A and B are shown apart, each in its own frame.
Chain A
Amino acid sequence: MDWINAVIQGVLLGGLYALFAAGLSLIFGVMRLVNIAHGDLIVLSAYLALTVTTALGLHPLLALVIVVPGMALVGYTLQRAILNRTMGDDLLPPLLVTFGLSVIIQNALLAGYSADPQKLQAGEIETASVALGSIALGVMPLIVFATAVVVIAALQWMFYRTALGRAFRATSDNQDIAQLMGLNRAHVFGLAMGLSLAVTALAGVFLGMRTSFDPAAGSARLIFGFEAVIIGGLGNLWGTLAGGVILGVAQTLGAKINPGYQILAGHLVFLAILAIRPRGLFPRIDG
């Protein structure tokens, strides 16, 4: 029963990792941008939520109403003002600039909030659980997982059923020809980054409600996000959810064997999958 419990907790944890990963997956899919600052942006969202909750006395889940659009705006502005200038045939400049951004965010958070660990206080919901037979399922992990499924489904729908998604796919296919269709690439990229950071905001708030965080907490989240994306297969959103779940289950099973093995087990499963299927489990089939 303990093992089944560990698997179920892992699946739910995977929802959080899928939220870490979805934004990465989205911007890589649309503009081939690898955002090294992604983890720090997750942590920045958590701090933003911290400020909103303490200043306005809001519950963290209610703070989402401010943090999600706020981060979307940050994303759009960041892309238009800085990242678009680095985009081109060469993948290195955006990589270096987002690395620099990562350092800047960490130091700004350190200066603004100190290195003390913080947590978003969510009250009773943190410990609430529902019983499934002899297994107790946390309400928060359930909410996070359900949110991840809804977010992935919504992104999938947006990508394949809406004008915005059509613009994303066209721009991803051929930026020049998309521009001929009246799509301003700079704006389309801005929208993609805005959407990516809106998802990141969700991830950051859920992270902050689950565990304590500090300004340096971003890099581990970046790695988990990357691993989920790569396990699932680049450019496949449902694959990203599957990747998050696999990573989550590997970690909770590892922790079951020995609490010290949690992170290591996740990395080992990632490496094993990469060795067997270098393009991930569900790579997108390109035409």
Chain B
Amino acid sequence: MPMPDPILTIEGLNAHYGDFQALYDLSMHVEAGEVVAVIGANGAGKTTLLRSISGLLRNAPASVLWRGTPIGAMRADQIAAQGIALVPEGRLLFPSLSVEENLIIGGQSGRKGPWNLQRVYRLFPVLEERRNQASTSLSGGQQQMVAIGRALMSNPDVVLMDEISLGLAPVIIRQIYEALPGIVGEGLTAVLVEQDISKALSVSTRVYCLQEGRVSLEGQSQTVSRDDISRAYFGV
């Protein structure tokens, strides 16, 4: 019997910003239900990878496969409709929309599933208290909760999270990470970009390390050695 296709496959991905090449022949795969961490130094190409998967950067069609089908050249809205959601680096909420409107617009593609306003409010009760406020009036941590909730509202099969702890106080980071099991617990697949290596390893099943646009390490999060990681991270 042939193996089922992974839910997400990256195959020989080359990504460019104009003349500048940010990713080189990058390959990785994500199985359904996995939490895959992607780590790497600043400028390694982590955000570029997530932008490529989500369609904000368009590449060769076969460089990104969704359940075996090429989606590398699709528009971001078409990819979102397939069931891939991105929590972007820096949160990027819509400033003209209230907290609740930011969440509602996340769900407007109409994909069915367990996530709705009530469920997001149960996960992050503070958002319900602030539902009618401008999203810009929230603290950084609360904005990150909105960004995560907005992605979940589309009931994605895969959620891509780009440095959700960036710029937040440790206590807030802990709070957000404590919510993660409740998010990925029901078979939701996640790709987690994270600068904090121990955080990344503790919540993930597998890990990829990027270095200058290439995969420098792939391994099981529980067994990968610290030495290998620092070598893959810094290239020494």
A179 beta carbon closer than 8 Å to chain B = yes
B88 beta carbon closer than 8 Å to chain A = yes
CB distance from B93 to the nearest CB of A (A): 8
Q: Contacting A174 at CB < 8 Å: which of B75, B86, B92, B106?
A: B92
From A183, which residue of chain B is reached at the shortest CB distance? B77
CB distance from B74 to the nearest CB of A (A): 11
- Point out the residues of chain B lying under 8 angstroms from A183, CB to CB: 77, 105, 108
Q: Is the CB of B76 within 8 A of A173?
A: no
- Point out the residues of chain B lying under 8 angstroms from A173, CB to CB: 94-97
A128 beta carbon closer than 8 Å to chain B = no
Q: Is the CB of A176 within 8 A of B104?
A: no
- Point out the residues of chain A lying under 8 angstroms from B92, CB to CB: 174, 177
Q: Is the CB of A180 within 8 A of B105?
A: no
> A166-B101, A170-B94, A174-B94 are contacts. A181–B109 as well, Cβ < 8 Å?
yes
Q: Is the CB of B88 within 8 A of A166?
A: no
From B92, which residue of chain A is reached at the shortest CB distance? A177
Q: Is the CB of A181 within 8 A of B105?
A: yes
B56 beta carbon closer than 8 Å to chain A = yes
- Point out the residues of chain B lying under 8 angstroms from A89, CB to CB: none
Q: Is the CB of B108 within 8 A of A182?
A: yes
Q: Is the CB of B86 within 8 A of A169?
A: no
Q: Contacting B54 at CB < 8 Å: which of A167, A170, A174, A180?
A: A180
B154 beta carbon closer than 8 Å to chain A = yes
From B151, which residue of chain A is reached at the shortest CB distance? A180
Main secondary structure of the interface of A (DSSP, over half): helix
Q: Is the CB of B88 within 8 A of A177?
A: yes
Q: Is the CB of B97 within 8 A of A170?
A: yes
> A176-B76, A179-B56, A179-B76 are contacts. A166–B105 as well, Cβ < 8 Å?
yes
Q: Is the CB of A180 within 8 A of B94?
A: no
From B109, which residue of chain A is reached at the shortest CB distance? A182
A172 beta carbon closer than 8 Å to chain B = yes
* Interface 1/0 per residue, B90-130 and A, CB below 8 Å: 00101111000100111011000000000000000000000
Tell me the bound Cα distance from A286 to B94 in angstroms: 12
Interface size classification for chain A: 20 to 34
Tell me the bound Cα distance from A179 to B54 in angstroms: 10
- Point out the residues of chain A lying under 8 angstroms from B101, CB to CB: 166
* Interface 1/0 per residue, A153-173 and B, CB below 8 Å: 000000000010011011011
B134 beta carbon closer than 8 Å to chain A = yes
A84 beta carbon closer than 8 Å to chain B = no
B85 beta carbon closer than 8 Å to chain A = yes
Tell me the bound Cα distance from A11 to B86 in angstroms: 50
- Point out the residues of chain A lying under 8 angstroms from B134, CB to CB: 287
Which 10 pairs across A and B sit closest by C-beta, in order of nearness?
A182-B109, A287-B95, A179-B76, A169-B96, A287-B136, A173-B94, A182-B80, A184-B77, A170-B94, A182-B77
| Other A-B pairs beyond A178-B105, A185-B77, 8, CB < 8 Å | A167-B105, A173-B96, A176-B56, A179-B55, A182-B77, A182-B80, A286-B95, A287-B136
List, sorted by A's number, 30 A–B pairs whose CB atoms are closer than 8 Å. Answer: A163-B108, A166-B101, A166-B104, A166-B105, A166-B108, A167-B105, A169-B94, A169-B96, A169-B97, A173-B94, A173-B95, A174-B94, A176-B56, A177-B92, A178-B94, A179-B56, A180-B77, A180-B80, A180-B85, A180-B86, A181-B80, A181-B106, A181-B109, A182-B77, A182-B80, A182-B109, A184-B75, A286-B95, A287-B134, A287-B136
